[in-house]
């Protein structure tokens, strides 16, 4: 589609590394300003929401009325540049466009902008709402601000397409996650007299073994049809201060991946159960845990069926195979949209090297996605 490659390259050229990941990075403001100018010139109503230093853009193409509104959601922030050479200078080699954010997900954002512009210029019944957000890679400040703003205004759309890279397949589920911090208490003593103390590091070892055992139990469960099974693992562990002293304290971070259908709070409950079992085996164990971050798993609702039909039709018109339905092992902001009552699917162009030093976007996917998305917007908002 005309202009989509050029806009992708332009967006890659605007550094939007998330300062929550790389302190001092510029964030999304310059990209928001650039897209706001462009979309205002195309007749979209512009709203800037969220923290002043981390703005997100809501650009609404007004329809004639009589049709449902559709949101197109993409994030503008990227992870750090790592060792990528010239990360913010888009380079095109054949059907590859290379640069930080090209795949995750400035190509998807560019396609959404171009498709929305085209649909609005042709005329739609319902509104087309571009939600181009900050901070997806860290704390989701942007999408939460957008949903709060639209919800308070009574303007939540009839459905949402999240344009994360899916290689033109459709994600209809993803796992959630929770992070639990565990603190273990001991009693310091000289290592030559271990009976005088309580070694928190020994308790930490038992905790790690119990976490591994629980993970194996989860892997044996019947898998969710798209999201697979949950998991439990320790990702951080510390304990002790000196080689000849029993550790007075130790700590660990335990991460739980959840699948649709598992209850809220399952991570904290499982870690608390592990601590209780350790205490039952050894009354000297003193520990406490707390959940510090959690995101819910997601599964597309039945109300998203119309979106799926239109995506299939768009890819068929582009000469591509019917998109596969799959579940992602990682979390995405589709869960936030659906929790707000907006039926959602995840569908976008991709390439390779996400969060790596060789990130690139497949331009044939980008062009077909933009064309298919334009058809979807016109049909859904009719």
Active site amino acids:
77, 136
Handedness of CA 97, 103, 104, 110 (dihedral sign): positive
Cα 154 from chain centre = 25
Q: Where are the beta strands (DSSP E) in 264-343?
A: 286-295, 298-299, 325-328
The structure tokens 């308790």 sit at: 203
Picking from 286, 281, 253, the residue whose alpha carbon sits closest to that of residue 267 is: 253
Picking from 299, 239, 224, 235, the residue whose alpha carbon sits closest to that of residue 267 is: 235
Helices (H), the chain: 4-12, 29-41, 107-122, 141-152, 200-219, 266-281, 305-317, 334-339, 363-380
Structure tokens at 60: 């609404």
The torsion angles phi and psi of 32, rounded to 5 degrees, stand at -60, -45
Edge-to-edge, what's the strand order for the sheet holding 231-239?
231-239, 249-258, 176-185, 286-295
Structure tokens at 363: 């331009």
Q: Give me the half-sphere count of Cα atoms (radius 13 Å) on the Cβ side of residue 187.
A: 9
Query: In angstroms, rounded to a whole number, what is the distance separating the alpha carbons of residues 301 and 341?
Result: 10
Picking from 261, 234, 227, 260, the residue whose alpha carbon sits closest to that of residue 329 is: 227
User: Is residue 195 packed enough to be buried (19+ CB in 10 Å), middle (13-18) or exposed (0-12)?
Assistant: exposed
The structure tokens 């979309």 sit at: 39
User: What DSSP designation does 245 have?
Assistant: B
Structure tokens at 184: 């273990």
**Backbone angle region of 94, left / alpha / beta, with phi > 0 → left and psi within -120 to 50 → alpha:** left
């Amino acid at each position: 589609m005309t202009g989509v490659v050029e806009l992708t390259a332009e967006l890659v050229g605007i550094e939007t590394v998330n300062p929550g990941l790389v302190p001092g990075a510029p964030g999304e403001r310059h990209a928001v300003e650039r897209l706001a100018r462009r979309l205002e010139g195309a007749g979209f109503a512009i709203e800037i929401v969220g923290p002043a230093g981390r703005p997100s853009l809501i650009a609404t193409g007004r329809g004639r009325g009589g049709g449902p509104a559709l949101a197109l959601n993409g994030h503008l922030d990227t992870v750090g540049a790592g060792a990528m050479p010239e990360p913010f200078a888009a380079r095109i080699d054949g059907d590859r466009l290379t640069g930080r954010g090209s795949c995750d997900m400035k190509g998807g954002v560019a396609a959404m902008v171009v498709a929305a512009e085209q649909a609005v210029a042709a005329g739609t019944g319902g509104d087309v709402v571009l939600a181009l957000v900050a901070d997806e890679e860290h704390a989701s400040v942007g999408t939460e601000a957008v949903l709060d703003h639209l919800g308070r205004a009574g303007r939540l759309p009839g459905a949402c397409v999240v344009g994360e890279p899916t290689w033109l397949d459709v994600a209809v589920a993803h796992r959630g996650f929770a992070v639990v911090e565990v603190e273990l208490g001991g009693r310091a003593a000289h290592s030559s007299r271990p009976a005088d103390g309580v070694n928190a590091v020994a308790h930490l070892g038992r905790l790690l073994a119990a976490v591994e055992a629980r993970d194996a139990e989860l892997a044996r469960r019947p898998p969710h049809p798209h999201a697979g099974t949950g998991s439990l693992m320790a990702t951080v562990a510390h304990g002790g201060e000196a080689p000849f002293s029993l550790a007075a304290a130790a700590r660990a971070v335990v991460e739980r991946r959840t699948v649709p259908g598992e209850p809220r709070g399952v991570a904290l409950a499982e870690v608390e159960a592990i601590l209780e079992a350790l205490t039952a085996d050894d009354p000297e164990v003193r520990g406490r845990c707390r959940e510090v971050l959690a995101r819910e798993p997601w599964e597309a609702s039945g109300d998203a069926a119309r979106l799926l039909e239109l995506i299939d039709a768009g890819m068929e018109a582009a000469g591509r195979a019917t998109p596969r339905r799959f579940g992602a092992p990682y979390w995405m902001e589709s869960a936030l949209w659906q929790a707000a009552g907006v039926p959602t699917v995840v569908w976008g162009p991709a390439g390779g090297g996400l969060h790596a030093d060789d990130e690139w976007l497949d331009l044939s996917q980008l062009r077909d996605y933009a064309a298919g998305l334009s058809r979807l917007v016109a049909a859904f908002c009719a």
